[in-house]
Amino acid sequence: MRTLITQDFSLQDVTKLRHAVSEQARSCGLHGPRLDDFVLAVHESVVNAIEHAGGHGWFKLWTVNGVIRSETSDRGAGIPEAYVNGGKRPSDESHTGRGIYLIRRLCDAADFRTGPGGTTVLLTMRLPRESGLTASGSMRRIRVTAPGGSPPGRFTA
């Protein structure tokens, strides 16, 4: 495990934290839409803690076993069960409920542990493999021979 960020946060820290998460995730190999998705999901988890749990919380970012993970914790009253377990898209007229919906769709995994003592949101995104191979470089040519002595064919996998 390699810890990248640990810090308490409040409203005035949101922008700096978002930039730090983006920088660290990029340095770990996330890029393009996956980087944007992860940073937005982290941002939503932090903003939810600020808006719904007293204006502050605790954040950690780390890598382990080919993934990048974030943990956002607060000491609020917890998230209502319908929000945590509801997988439906909020209606266009709804003013709340989009954060968790977005978080679940932006990350490879999102885990919510919530109760009267607070909430912890754990987000996970797989990192690109560090093989150094390009998409075309990862393919290899193999020879396939049909049963019964047919002339050999070629197949590129």
Q: What is the pLDDT of residue 84?
A: 81
More confident residue, 30 or 154: 30
Phi, psi at residue 36, to the nearest 5°?
-60, -45
Q: What is the pLDDT of residue 139?
A: 47
How many Å is the Cα radius of gyration of the chain?
21
Q: What is the pLDDT of residue 80?
A: 84
Compute the distance between CA of residue 69 and CA of residue 108 in angstroms, rounded to an integer: 10
Share of the chain above pLDDT 70, in %: 74
Which of helix, strand or coil describes residue 136?
A: coil
> How much is the average pLDDT of 24-42?
97
The answer on pLDDT for 157 being more than 50 is no
Q: What is the pLDDT of residue 96?
A: 59
Q: What is the pLDDT of residue 91?
A: 56
**Residue indicated by tokens 């890029």:** 31
Per DSSP bridges, beta strands 118-126 and 67-74 are antiparallel
Compute the distance between CA of residue 144 and CA of residue 119 in angstroms, rounded to an integer: 55
Q: Is 64 left (phi over 0), alpha (psi -120 to 50) or beta?
A: beta
> How much is the average pLDDT of 1-22?
98
How many CB atoms are located within 10 Å of the residue 16 CB? 11
> 60-106: per-residue pLDDT in tens?
999 999 999 999 999 999 988 877 876 666 556 655 557 888 899 99
**Residue indicated by tokens 């470089």:** 137
Per domain, the residue ranges of the chain are 2-131
Domain at 2-131, CATH class: alpha beta
> How much is the average pLDDT of 34-58?
97
Amino acid at 53: A
Q: What is the pLDDT of residue 137?
A: 42
Q: What is the pLDDT of residue 72?
A: 99
DSSP type of residue 147: T
